[in-house]
């Protein structure tokens, strides 16, 4: 068996968007992912579904693997022929013990590669609005492992030199020792009035920053626990003008999205870009139809149709997959007028190189009918691949105008396998807002929590709907719609939520 390889990959300080492109590529193709406790769980979704995932535990917890055990684990998986992604918080070679792991692999003759990550030492202060260098203030910065006792005789850190150096000090793993560290710096000559800050959960929506001076930062930050970084230096005083992250419109807001796990990414990214903590509560699972034969039959008879109308991205993806399975491709659609209900549906066609001819201004069934115009449809044949359960407005309206309509099931939506315990965990604490992107997400949420409890569970929660049809369904379920997107897209829904919270702040 060929020997595998280990990649020591820096995951960044927390924000999943800070993973490097190379890190993402390795994570996506790895056979085994060995990850630290503090690695953002969102990154693990990038791994293959069949990849082995091994958490090595939290520092100080009983389930944490010893470093020697982690080293041996990496060796064993590589010797078994596996491609191993050792996913480490921050940068592997900046207080990440990556050097020890690399040395252990080298000693055993295991091939390895280092993929640097964005270090917490510069990223976390940046998210707090603190530049660790500034031409007018300092051109030097020192990263320090703050868990070392400054009073011990064998200290490898020259605290006297650090105290008199005018540069920025960034202390990792320093929360417990902060009173002792700050006192040691003051005693050795660092001015007590030097600006200082402690940043907990930096780069994440739960980020918390305590500001002070070298003299009082330890007492001010006494309630802060790990993970946290301390910054000492004149640059810490710039935060009041440069604090950008905490001013994002949805910073500190916990927002639940109810799309399928596979389709949650676009809305999650839109909300996260506005500073939100995003919680995924999938209320829909997409399944193939009970039989592909009706869709396959329609595909075999494509020359009979004049129009192909798609009302969802799922309908498009499954239609195109069956088209490919039958030996066809985008050329098979030549001569068909193709309509899509909105940009996401049109984008699914575009990925296959198919140009959409009709897309409404209003991203709903009514808009799709309006896009067809008032022309005579007698003798025209329409093919509509869609979900088993869907509104019949379009087929009925087309038939009323003399068209022949063939609706075929391309997929079905079902309740996901979500246990009551998992659902309760996701809803505790209650989100600040919850989004619904279709009538199915609304009805299925009510089924999951119980229709009689939906109103109680969402009491005080901002209920955000993607459009009037979904809003009508929510109201039928007894829920009040707080905000409705002006444009029925994921970006439009995110903007509507941001505006709602801006208005509340105002």
pLDDT number for residue 503: 78
Is residue 196 within 8 A of residue 239, CB to CB? The reply is no
DSSP run (H or E) holding 394: helix 393-400
The position carrying tokens 């993973």 is 19
pLDDT tens, position by position, 59-118:
656 667 899 999 999 999 999 999 999 999 999 999 999 999 999 999 999 999 999 999
**Residue 476, C-beta contacts closer than 8 angstroms, at least 6 positions apart:** none
Query: CA dist 128 to 194, 209, 211, Å?
Result: 17, 7, 10
Per-residue tokens: 66: 């010893």
Query: CA dist 398 to 22, 113, 368, Å?
Result: 50, 60, 11
pLDDT number for residue 62: 63
Residue 212 φ then ψ, to 5°: 180, -150
Per-residue tokens: 238: 């710039």
Strand order in the sheet with 83-88: 52-55, 32-35, 83-88, 5-10, 112-115
Per-residue tokens: 231: 């910054």
d(CA 427, CA 42): 18
d(CA 413, CA 405): 22
The DSSP code sequence of 103-129 is HHHHHTT--EEEE----HHHHHHHHTT
pLDDT number for residue 60: 56
**Residue 351, C-beta contacts closer than 8 angstroms, at least 6 positions apart:** none
For 271-325, give the secondary structure using H, E and C. HHHCCCEEEECCCCEEECCCCCHHHHHHHHCHHHCCEEEECCHHHHHHHHHHHHH
The closest of 254, 248, 246, 286 to 435, measured between CA atoms, is 254
How much helix, strand and coil, in percent to the nearest 5, is found in the chain? 40, 20, 40
Low-confidence ranges of the chain (pLDDT < 70): 1, 58-63, 148-155, 363, 390-391, 505-506
Q: Which domains does the chain have, with CATH numbers?
A: 5-118 (3.40.1010.10), 122-242 (3.30.950.10), 254-284+417-505 (3.40.50.10090), 291-412 (3.40.50.10090)
For 352-387, give the secondary structure using H, E and C. CCCCCCECCCCCCHHHHHHHCCCCCCCCCEEEEEEE
pLDDT number for residue 151: 66
pLDDT number for residue 233: 97
pLDDT number for residue 418: 86
pLDDT number for residue 420: 86
Provide the 3-class DSSP secondary structure of residue 256.
strand
pLDDT tens, position by position, 450-473:
888 999 999 999 999 999 999 999
Residue 123 φ then ψ, to 5°: -75, -45
- Count of all residues that appear for the chain in the document: 506
């Amino acid at each position: 068996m060929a020997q595998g390889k280990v990649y020591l990959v820096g995951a960044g300080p927390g924000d999943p968007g800070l993973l490097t492109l190379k890190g993402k590529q390795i994570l996506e193709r790895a056979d085994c992912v060995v990850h630290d406790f503090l690695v953002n769980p969102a990154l693990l979704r990038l791994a293959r579904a069949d990849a082995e995932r091994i958490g090595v535990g939290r520092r100080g917890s009983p389930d944490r693997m010893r470093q020697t055990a982690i080293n041996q684990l990496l060796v064993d998986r590589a010797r078994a022929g596996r491609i191993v992604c050792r996913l480490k918080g921050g940068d592997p070679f900046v207080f990440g013990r990556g050097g020890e792991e690399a040395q252990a692999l080298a000693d055993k003759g295991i091939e390895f590669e280092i993929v640097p990550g964005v270090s917490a030492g510069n990223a976390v202060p940046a998210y707090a609005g603190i530049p660790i260098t500034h031409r007018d203030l300092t051109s030097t910065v020192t990263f320090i492992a703050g868990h070392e006792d400054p009073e011990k005789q064998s200290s490898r850190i020259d605290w006297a030199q650090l105290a008199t150096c005018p540069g920025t000090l960034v202390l990792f793993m320093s929360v417990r020792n902060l009173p002792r560290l700050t006192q040691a710096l003051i005693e050795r000559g660092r001015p007590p009035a030097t600006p200082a800050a402690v940043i907990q959960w930096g780069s994440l929506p739960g980020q918390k920053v305590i500001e002070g001076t070298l003299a009082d930062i330890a007492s001010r930050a006494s309630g802060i626990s790990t993970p946290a970084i301390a910054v000492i230096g004149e640059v810490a005083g710039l935060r009041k003008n440069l604090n950008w992250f905490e001013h994002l419109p949805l910073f500190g807001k916990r927002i639940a999205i109810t799309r399928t796990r596979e389709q949650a990414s676009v809305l999650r990214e839109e909300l996260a870009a506005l500073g939100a903590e995003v919680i995924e509560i999938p209320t829909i699972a997409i399944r193939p139809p009970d039989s592909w034969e009706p869709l396959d039959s329609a595909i075999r008879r494509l020359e009979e149709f004049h129009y192909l109308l798609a009302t969802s991205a799922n309908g498009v993806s499954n239609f195109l997959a069956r088209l490919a399975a039958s030996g066809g491709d985008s050329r098979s659609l030549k001569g068909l007028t193709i309509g899509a209900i909105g940009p996401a549906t049109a984008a699914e066609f575009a990925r296959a190189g198919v140009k959409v001819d009709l897309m409404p201004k209003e991203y709903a069934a009514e808009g799709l009918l309006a896009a067809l115009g008032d022309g005579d449809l007698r003798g025209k044949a329409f093919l509509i691949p869609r979900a088993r359960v869907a509104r019949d407005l379009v087929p009925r309206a087309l038939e009323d105008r003399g068209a022949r309509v063939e609706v075929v099931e391309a997929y079905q939506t079902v309740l996901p396998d979500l246990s009551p315990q998992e659902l309760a965990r996701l809803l505790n604490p209650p989100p600040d807002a919850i989004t619904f992107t279709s009538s199915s997400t609304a009805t299925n949420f009510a089924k999951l929590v119980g229709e009689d409890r939906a109103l109680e569970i969402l009491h005080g929660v901002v209920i955000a709907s993607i459009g009037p049809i979904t809003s009508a369904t929510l109201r039928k379920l007894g829920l009040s719609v707080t905000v409705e997107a002006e444009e029925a897209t994921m970006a439009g829904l995110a903007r509507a939520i941001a505006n709602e919270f801006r208005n509340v702040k105002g």
